[in-house]
Chain A
Amino acid sequence: EADIYQTPRYLVIGTGKKITLECSQTMGHDKMYWYQQDPGMELHLIHYSYGVNSTEKGDLSSESTVSRIRTEHFPLTLESARPSHTSQYLCASSGGSGGPFGELFFGEGSRLTVL
C-alpha cells in the first residue's frame, strides 16, 4: 500500500480564494509530481520536483505554484481560484530508479470545485 497522502480530498470554494492542496509521502522518495485529471481526458503533468528546492513546470500550463522545502512535502497553491480550475488533482511520487522506468505511487486525489 502506497504511503502518499493528499488533503483535502474534496474542496468547494468561491472564486478568488487562495487554496493549498497538501501532499505528503513517507517513502523517502526524491521525485514528486502533480497531475490534473478531468473526466474522459488523459492525465496531464502540471508540476514535478526531483528533490528539495527543485521544481519544474509540466506539459500542461497551470496557474498554480508548488514548493519543495522538505523531501516528504509537495504542496500546490492557487493564489486566486477560478471556475476553470475545477478538476481533480493527483499527487504522485517515485524513488530510486522510479519514474517511467519504475513505478509511480499516487495519492487518492483532491477534487476541487470552484464556484
Chain B
Amino acid sequence: AQSVTQLGSHVSVSEGALVLLRCNYSSSVPPYLFWYVQYPNQGLQLLLKYTSAATLVKGINGFEAEFKKSETSFHLTKPSAHMSDAAEYFCAVSDPGSGGGADGLTFGKGTHLIIQP
C-alpha cells in the first residue's frame, strides 16, 4: 500500500521568499510522484511529475521538486514567491505496477500556501 504525507496544512511565506512544501511518501516499489495545484474555485492542474528519470524535476510557474529516495521525499520548491502562487498544493504518489489509471493514484491532504505581501 502507498501513502502520502504533506507536512503542514498551511504554509505562509512573504512575497519574494523561498517556498518549500514538504511531501513524504511510502511505497513498496519505486513510485511515480506528482504535484498538482488548485487555485480558488478551480480544479487541479499538474505542476510537475517524477517518473524515474532525472531526480530534479522542473515544472510550470518556476516550481521544481527533487526526488530523494533515501529520505522518501519529494518536496516542492520555488526560489521567490509571487502573490499569484497562493493556492492549494497536492502531492500524489502512484505505484507503477498498479496497471495505470487513477485507481492507482493516492493524493495527500493538501497544503494551503499563503503569500504575505
Alpha-carbon distance between A43 and B109 when the two chains are bound, in angstroms: 7
Interface of A is mostly: mixed
Q: Which of B32, B34, B49, B102 contacts A31 (CB 8 A)?
A: B102
Per the bound structure, the CA–CA distance linking A43 and B104 in Å amounts to 13
Seen from chain A, the residues whose Cβ lies within 8 Å of a Cβ on chain B are 2, 4, 6, 31, 33, 40-43, 45, 48, 50, 56, 58-59, 90, 92, 94, 97, 99-101, 103-109
The CA-CA distance from A43 to B110 in the complex, in Å, is 9
Known interface pairs A99-B102, A100-B32; 18 further A-B residue pairs with C-beta atoms within 8 A, sorted by A's residue number: A2-B43, A40-B9, A42-B108, A43-B44, A45-B105, A59-B103, A92-B43, A92-B44, A94-B101, A94-B102, A99-B105, A100-B92, A103-B46, A104-B44, A104-B102, A106-B45, A108-B42, A108-B43
Known: A31-B101, A100-B94, A101-B51. A42 touches B107 (CB 8 A): yes
Which of B43, B101, B110 contacts A99, CB < 8 Å? B101
B98–A100 touching, CB < 8 Å = yes
Q: Do A108 and B103 have beta carbons less than 8 Å apart? A: no
How far does the alpha carbon of A40 sit from the alpha carbon of B109 in the complex, in Å?
A: 6
Q: Check if B90 is an interface residue, CB within 8 A of chain A.
A: yes
Q: In the complex, what's the smallest C-beta–C-beta distance from B51 to chain A, in angstroms?
A: 6
Decide: A108 and B90 in contact? CB cutoff 8 A.
no
Could you say which residues of chain A place their CB within 8 Å of the CB of B34? 100
Per-position binary interface string of chain B over residues 42-66, scored 1 when its CB falls under 8 Å from any chain A CB and 0 otherwise: 1111100101000000000000000
